[in-house]
Structures are given as C-alpha cells and as structure tokens.
C-alpha cells in the first residue's frame, strides 16, 4: 500500500500486512516528520478509484436509470441545463439593459434638477450634447431707462435696466435684441447686444447697460427683448 507523509507529502510503499490495526509509527526520511500511519490512510491507485466510481454508478442506476449522467466527464453538461443557463443569462442581460435605460431616461428627464443640485453634472451633459441649463426662458427685464448723450461728438443712446431670474433654476443669459422705431413704426436700428453676465443664478438679478449710436434726433420708440425670444 501507499502511505503519504502529512508534512511534505512524500509517498512510501509498504506491504499491506505491515500496518496493524493500532497503526504504525513512521519517520519521513525527507523532512524528518514522525507520524503514525493507519490502514485507512493508504492511498488508492487510479485504477482502484475508477473501479469504485463504476460500482457507485451501477448502484445508482438500479434506483435512477439516468443517474449515470452524474458521472459523465466534465465539459459535457446536459443540453437541458445549458439551455436553462443561457435562458437565465438572457433574462439577466435584459434586466440590466432595462435598468440602464430607465436610469438614462431619468437622468435626461430630470437633467435640470440634477444640475441644480449637482452642478458638476453639467459637464457630463455637455459631453453628450444635452442641454441641462435653461437658456433664459424665464428671465425678466425691468426698470428700463433710456437717455441720450454725446460722446466723442457723436449722439448716442444709453439704455440701462435690470435683468432678474425669478426661477429656482440657474439660467444662461442670452444677448439682448434692441430695435429702435420712429413714431410711424419704421425700423431705424436693429442690433444685438451681448452682455458680460453669461449666467444668472436662481432668484438672482443684475443690472445691464447698452450704448449705441443715435439713428436720429427725432422722437422714437425702443423695444428690448432677448435675442432668442420669438
């Protein structure tokens, strides 16, 4: 029979009748380990293990005819099991895709609120070309004052006022569209004035001023709006 050292796993071959029921004290010549060997510690030869598996398979075949499939070599699983596994994997992939699609839809639908509470997310939306900050849709122009002045011997018009954001969301500030008409309604001047303030925070207001050449010394009407408004 074959006995293996429990420390260095060196295998020794000894006679079957050398080990008694009470065991045999052995000394490993390789690692100097002293241990006690018993008959039940004997290693089984490959052909002995194969014979035992065949006997176990035959025993199960008497109870369950199909039990021999349990002892089939690895790498050849039942076709039915393979199909079930693939079916479960497909369902898992589908659920993951559905979850990702739902998250993407929520991030898009709530993008203005997401940027409101996490401004750093604006760069994420910009990377994908998604607008996440309102573009002056709720800004208000008030306290408009118009005065005429002479600057460098040129008659000019100075227009000033206040732009207010009454919304809880930050907004991009679009340029101002200033149109001047005479009293008969004929357009004298149509210009776009770009402001230094590009972003208005929630409930924020700021003043603006625009100076342009006076198209005529006569009485006139002035209309001020944002350039992106209809």
Q: For the domain that residue 147 is a member of, what is the CATH number?
A: 2.60.40.10
Domain contains 108: no
Report the domain count for the chain.
2
Residue range of the domain that includes 27? 2-43
Residues 38 and 23: beta-carbon distance below 8 Å: yes
pLDDT tens-digit map of 42-88: 776 666 556 566 665 566 555 555 545 555 555 555 444 445 566 67
- Ranking 2-11, 36-45, 68-77, 205-214 by mean pLDDT, the lowest is 68-77
**pLDDT for the residue numbered 2:** 80
Helix, strand, coil percent values for the chain (each to nearest 5): 30, 30, 35
Residues 180 and 159: beta-carbon distance below 8 Å: no
Phi-psi sector, 214: left (phi>0), alpha (psi -120 to 50), beta: beta
Domain contains 50: no
**pLDDT for the residue numbered 110:** 94
DSSP-based three-state secondary structure for 28? coil
Domain contains 190: yes
Note the pTM of the prediction, 2 decimals.
Answer: 0.55
Residues 178 and 141: beta-carbon distance below 8 Å: no
Domain contains 19: yes
52-89 burial: b if 16+ Cβ within 10 Å, else e: eeeeeeeeeeeeeeeeeeeeeeeeeeeeeeeeeeeeee
Domain contains 111: no
Please give the backbone phi and psi of residue 169, each rounded to the nearest 5 degrees, phi first.
Answer: -105, 145
Domain contains 74: no
Domain contains 18: yes
Domain contains 100: no
């Amino acid at each position: 029979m074959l006995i293996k050292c429990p420390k260095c796993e060196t295998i020794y071959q000894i006679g079957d009748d050398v080990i008694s029921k009470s065991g045999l004290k052995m000394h490993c010549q390789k690692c100097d380990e002293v241990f006690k060997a018993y008959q039940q510690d004997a290693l089984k030869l490959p052909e002995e293990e194969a014979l035992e598996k065949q006997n176990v398979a035959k025993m199960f075949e008497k109870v369950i005819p199909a039990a021999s499939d349990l002892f089939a070599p690895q790498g050849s699983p039942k076709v039915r099991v393979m199909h079930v596994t693939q079916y479960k994997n497909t369902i898992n992939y589908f659920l993951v895709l559905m979850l990702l699609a739902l998250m993407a839809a929520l991030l898009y639908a709530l993008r203005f609120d997401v940027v409101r509470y996490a401004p750093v997310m604006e760069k994420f939306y910009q990377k994908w070309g998604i607008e996440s900050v309102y573009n002056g849709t709720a800004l208000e122009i008030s306290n408009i004052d118009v005065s005429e002045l002479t600057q460098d011997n040129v008659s000019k018009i100075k227009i000033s006022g206040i732009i207010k954001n009454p919304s809880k969301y930050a907004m991009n500030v679009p340029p101002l569209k200033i149109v001047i008409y005479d009293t008969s309604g004929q357009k004298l001047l149509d210009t776009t004035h770009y402001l230094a303030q590009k972003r208005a925070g929630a409930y924020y207001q700021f003043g603006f001023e625009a100076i342009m050449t006076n198209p005529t010394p006569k009485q006139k009407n002035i209309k001020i709006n944002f350039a992106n408004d209809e």
